[in-house]
Amino acid sequence: MKALHENISLAARRLAPYLPYPHFMCVAPLDAVLRILWRAEGHIPPAYWPRLVLLLLLSGINTVTSLPERVILAAWLRLRPPQMGRDNAPVFVLGYFRSGTTFLQNLLAADPDLRSPSWPQVLAPQAFVPGWFLLRYLFVPLLPLTRLSAVVPVGAKLPGEDDFALNNLGGMSVLAGRAILPRRQAFFNRFHDLDALSKGELSRWRSHQFGFVQKLTLVAGGRRLLLKSPSHTARVRYLQELFPGAKFVHISRSPEVVFRSNLLLARELQRAFALQPPLPEDEQEEIITCEYLATEMHYLADRAQIPAADLAEVRLQDLTADPVGEMKRIYRELGLPFSRGCEERVLQVAATFGKQVRSRHPDLTERQKARVARLEPLAAAFGHAPLQAPETLDVDSQQRIG
């Protein structure tokens, strides 16, 4: 009986990448899904077709049902665009994937004066209040992210990443390559720092990023928006042009831990959502190493252009050791009020994250150690000593559904 159970478990693990179940793009409009699929250039193996068929079917249904809402909202934004000035420009959380950005975003989102988009809002950016309300109760609870072991916290009430919105509006995100079409990462990774985009592509990115923020402003009730996507770290100068007066909070972490966690993240995303076979491990490792280094170097180059009153930096180990103290410092440097009620909420968020069980990563190979050595400039730039012992808390690598 034990042998039979083990054989069934092995078969289930091997079949899991191909089994159809709701994709995170299944609530995206069909035109956005097709725009991404066009870049596959016909290279979607038959083993992934069941997943593809279900994605197209659900996306088609959502496209039709959300059409009236999309038409009405587009007309409303054109006739009565919300006012966005320097005083209510967004706060952006910066830092590469797995650097602790999710932890920091949740701490900041505990502030009642800040408004971060929820997961229904970023997964269905074409919808609005009625659509988001339905998604909150009907779709998100069914989203099978419980099958992932190393993805950001997902839940109807939890803060989401606005890069999912850009992806689901038209494939303008590294997510399309990293999670859906691994063999086309070179194309989609251009939407990370935006430097290699054509004029038309950059204009489309600006339009969708600004439009999504406009939509969120309508429901923010006068509160300042809080946005987090790791790719923002590489495009600060573009965000400053779009949103004069924006404020930035950058978080960093030991480069070795970030590298380890990103290997796991890429593998888990592709296992759950890919429509193509993954890249060879060596090639994926090189992509992560180069992108991580380039991302933070972009930030370091742009940092000098950010006014001192609009920038704060924090290390993950300091934030986990003293969340309230570090948050007070961040607010003080940004010139934002930090209320007593905010302090209590920060403690609650920190306690929730502190209960998570730390992920264990396998030892690095010699090849991987050589890649980590190339990240030493980042450790020096942000004040991280070489890792001597396992971290006590891996706040950005555990699945949390809520």
pLDDT in tens, 308-362: 999 999 999 999 999 999 999 999 999 999 887 888 888 888 888 765 545 566 7
The whole model's pTM is what? 0.87
Question: Which pLDDT score is estimated for 71?
Answer: 78
Mean pLDDT, consecutive 10-residue stretches, the chain (402 aa), reads 52 54 83 94 91 90 81 76 81 96 94 91 82 64 48 70 93 94 95 95 95 89 93 97 96 95 89 92 96 97 95 96 95 91 86 64 85 94 71 44 30
Partners of 228 in the β-ladder: 93
Q: Please give the helix or strand (H or E) that residue 248 lies within, else none.
A: strand 247-252
- CATH 3.40.50.300 for the 2-382 domain, yes or no: yes
Q: Look at the chain and count its residues.
A: 402
Distance (Å) of CA 56 to CA 33, 68, 122: 8, 20, 19
**Whole-angstrom Cα Rg for the chain:** 21
Q: How far, in Å, CA of 23 to CA of 32, rounded? A: 14
What DSSP string runs through 90-146?
PEEEE--TTSSHHHHHHHHHTSTTEE--BHHHHH-TT--HHHHHHIIIIIGGG--GG
Show me where the domains of the chain are located: 2-382
Distance (Å) of CA 399 to CA 344, 358, 387: 24, 10, 24
Torsion over CA: 114, 126, 402, 105 (sign): negative
> Helix, strand or coil for residue 264?
helix
Q: How far, in Å, CA of 90 to CA of 156, rounded? A: 22
Residues 6+ apart with CB under 8 A from 83: none
Burial class (CB in 10 A: 0-12, 13-18, 19+), 271: middle
Q: Please give the helix or strand (H or E) that residue 313 lies within, else none.
A: strand 311-315
Amino acid at 149: S
Question: Which pLDDT score is estimated for 10?
Answer: 58
What DSSP string runs through 222-246?
TPEEEEE-GGGGG-HHHHHHHSTT-
